[in-house]
Amino acid sequence: MNFIRMLWHALTSIKNAIGNIVFLLILLVVLFAIFSSETIDIGDNTALVLNPRGAVVEQKSLANPLNELVNGDFTSETLFRDILLAISTAKSDKQISALVLDLSNLSSITMGHLEEIGNALEDFKASNKPVLAFAPSYSQAQYLIASYSDRIVLDENSFEPFGGVFLTGFSVDPLYYKTALDMLKIDVRVFAAGDYKDAAEPYTLDGMSDYSKEANEAWLNTLWEGYKSIVTTQRNISDESFHRYTNRYNELLAEAGNDPSLLSLNEGYADELLSKSEWQEEMIDIVGRSGRSFRQIEFADYLRVTQPSIQAPSPTRDKIAVITASGTILDGEQPSGLIGGDSLSSLIQQARWDENIKGVVLRINSPGGSAAASEKIRRELALVQQDGKPVVVSMSSYAASGGYWISSTANKIFALESTITGSIGTFVLFPTFEQALAEIGIHTDGVGTTNLSGALNPFKSPSQPIEDTLKRSVERTYNRFVSLVADGRDMDLTDVEEIAKGRVWAGKTALELGLVDAIGGLDDAISSAADLSNISGYEVIFLEKELSTREKLITEILNVSVNIFAKTYPSRGIIDTLIPRELLDFASMSKAPGLYMHCFQCQVR
């Protein structure tokens, strides 16, 4: 026994020593990167390179960077508002003479973000500065941004399986687990309100219901029409040509000699095919040379130079507070990248108690989640309104189900044309495992004092009283949801009932139905909050959960280290592929019966 204890202590010491060595190596790399970095200088006639990496997000996830380093999952995130800030700043910056789009490392972005970035680029072009794009190929998302360019160039030496401009259209393709759950003898009871509330379908069906297909096709077609409208307008392409390109791609590719870049050029989706060196020479002619390439600055470096690292708000100036609510809505305290009922409520309280904050803009990007957390957040917003401060909602890509519950009673709601919203419905999942255990010879039995004794035992089927209770709870929550929408939107209950039923709508349609007040982005919502507050000359602040000094230091050190390693070893994790989001959500919702307002099928592919 003493030998085993000594061996265990030795292994623990070795593990701690290795951990310390790894941390010291990381620290040395960071210090080297800091002290060896050159001073960034913006010269005259410089091109701003907009090169977002990884996923574009409203709010960066508070992940453990050391875990990312150890696991080799260097999935980057680019803050959405940093992109807009760089574009708007460069518009009036006399040292910036051109904007270059390098979208090759952009892996994930929503339609809502694409819409707002496109609007920002359109505004930038009013400065008469050129917007230019070069890439080996363009995915569908990348191309929507590139379409705003004055000139799109494809690398003529690119050999990618889906090269050129590859447009696939939009789809919703959830996985369905009913047969698998049946084979595992897992019984999933679903209690739902709303004919179109399809969040639980993956666990009860093997395919999409007719109701779900009808609703999903409607909003998907609206989004696709919006995409088509932008591309055909920006590139001066006819609707017929667009339809032919996106539906007969393989035939057109054969006619172009199997060269996707040449096909894109012939069909008007690109302006020229050049090698990378030829492209750089053209850019040198436009902005001049710096080293071996053209004079340029990446947008992240540009923001470090042009924006103060610490922005101290004026203690006496009127303010509009922007609070970001991004991710699934969950109970309690949650980190950045998720919406916690307690954590977001505390930020709203902070805005309510600050006398210099005259209005609140809630920037929401969420498919929903916990009903209890959603109502807690909405009540806090209502208290802000009771104190005489307007609440304006700015819907980003998603504000569905619980996300719409939070928004429903705001003074004004802005959505994008491509925002996915609505999904007014609720459900409860109640899985039980008695049959699964019986398959391996395990059974449960016992006695209780009432009809509800053992009601939440996952190893026995729910009794009739508990089923009745869950049904009534779902019905009550749904009726409350409809009532909130009717009161907040000044609509009749019958009118809300007609457009509710768990159905999802695109922002453009939501405006027609009265679920939102106007089409617009974050800046429009901020201006509206200021108007409703009757203030001018105000300051905009972003309220976020404060990290301790120690947390900031450690996170920054590790983030810098991970970024260095990520650029050197750009591997990607496969957890999201192996464990689909639906299964993770199912596991989360199955811990205990709870009321949920969630739109799982709002994720567009």
Over residues 397-436, the pLDDT tens digits come to 999 999 999 999 999 999 999 999 998 888 888 888 888 8
Going by pLDDT thresholds of 50, 70 and 90, the confidence category of residue 263 is very high
Q: Is the pLDDT of residue 349 over 80?
A: yes
Q: Indicate if the pLDDT at residue 221 is higher than 90.
A: yes
Three-state DSSP at 338 gives coil
Q: Rounded CA gap, 599 and 419, in Å?
A: 13
Confidence grade of residue 121 (pLDDT, cut at 50, 70, 90):
very high
Catalytic residue selected from 91, 97, 139, 197: 197
* Both structure tokens of 439: 């398959």
What CA–CA distance (Å, rounded) separates 115 from 110?
9
> Is residue 423 within 8 Å of 503, Cβ to Cβ?
yes
> Does residue 528 have a pLDDT over 80?
yes
Mean pLDDT, residues 285-293 taken together: 91
- Residue 289 CA, distance from chain mean position: 38
d(C-alpha 605, C-alpha 599), whole Å: 15
Q: What whole-number distance in Å separates Cα of residue 427 and Cα of residue 295? A: 56
**Token representation of residue 273:** 């095919």
Give the whole-angstrom CA distance, residue 504 versus residue 482.
14
Which residues make beta-bridge pairs with 325?
Answer: 364
Which pLDDT value is given to residue 581?
A: 55
Mean pLDDT throughout 577-591?
Answer: 54
Q: What residues have CB less than 8 Å from 356, skipping those under 6 apart?
A: 315, 316, 317, 318, 319
Which long-range contacts does 484-488 make (Cβ < 8 Å, 24+ apart)?
A: 484/378, 484/405, 484/408, 484/409, 485/404, 485/408, 485/424, 485/515, 487/409, 488/408, 488/409, 488/410
Is residue 408 part of the annotated active site? The answer reads: no
Domain ranges of the chain: 39-171+232-306
Joined together, the tokens standing for residue 135 give 């890439």
Calculate the CA 527 to chain-centre distance.
23
Share of the chain above pLDDT 70, in %: 80
* Average pLDDT, integer, range 483-512: 92
- The one catalytic residue in 401, 423, 473, 528 is 401
How many Å apart are CA 238 and CA 359, to the nearest integer? 44
CA distance 434 to 490: 48
Place of tokens 């875990």: 67
Mean pLDDT of 443-460: 85
Separation between Cα atoms, residue 586 and residue 253, nearest integer Å:
42
Q: Is 374 considered catalytic here?
A: no
Residue 565 predicted with pLDDT over 80 = no
**Residue 444 phi/psi, 5° resolution?**
-125, 145
Mean pLDDT to the nearest integer, 144-160? 94
Minimal CA–CA distance to 268: which of 235, 314, 317? 235
* Confidence tier at 63 by pLDDT (50, 70, 90): low
Q: What does the block give as tokens for 551?
A: 């947390």
Q: How confident is the model at residue 600 (pLDDT cuts 50, 70, 90)?
A: low
How does residue 152 score in pLDDT terms, banded at 50, 70 and 90? very high
Torsion of CA 14, 16, 19, 23, to 10 degrees: -130
What's the pTM value of the predicted model, to 2 decimals? 0.84
pLDDT at 200 (0 to 100): 80
Q: Above 50 in pLDDT, residue 572?
A: no
For the chain, the helix, strand and coil percentages under 3-state DSSP, each to the nearest 5? 45, 20, 35
Flag whether pLDDT at 393 surpasses 50. yes
Angstrom distance (rounded) from CA 123 to CA 91: 8
The residues near 227 (Cβ < 8 Å, ≥ 6 apart) are 111, 140, 144, 170
When the pLDDT of each residue in the chain is averaged and rounded to a whole number, the result is 85
Give the pLDDT of residue 291.
86
Q: Rounded distance, CA 93 to CA 74, Å?
A: 33
Mean pLDDT of 113-138: 96
Instruction: Check: CB of residue 49 under 8 Å from CB of residue 279.
Output: no
Residues 398, 321, 77: CA angle, nearest 5 degrees = 50
CATH architecture for the domain at 39-171+232-306: Alpha-Beta Complex (3.90)
Contact between 371 and 405 under an 8 Å Cβ cutoff? The reply is yes
pLDDT of 457 higher than 90: no
77-102 mean pLDDT: 95
Contact 123, 156 (CB under 8 A): no
Residue 342 has pLDDT above 70, yes or no: yes
Mean pLDDT in residue range 270-290: 94
Using pLDDT thresholds of 50, 70 and 90, give the confidence band for residue 312: low
Rounded to whole angstroms, the Cα distance separating 170 from 429 reads 29
What is the Cα–Cα distance from 430 to 408, expressed in whole angstroms?
28
Give pLDDT, residue 547. 54
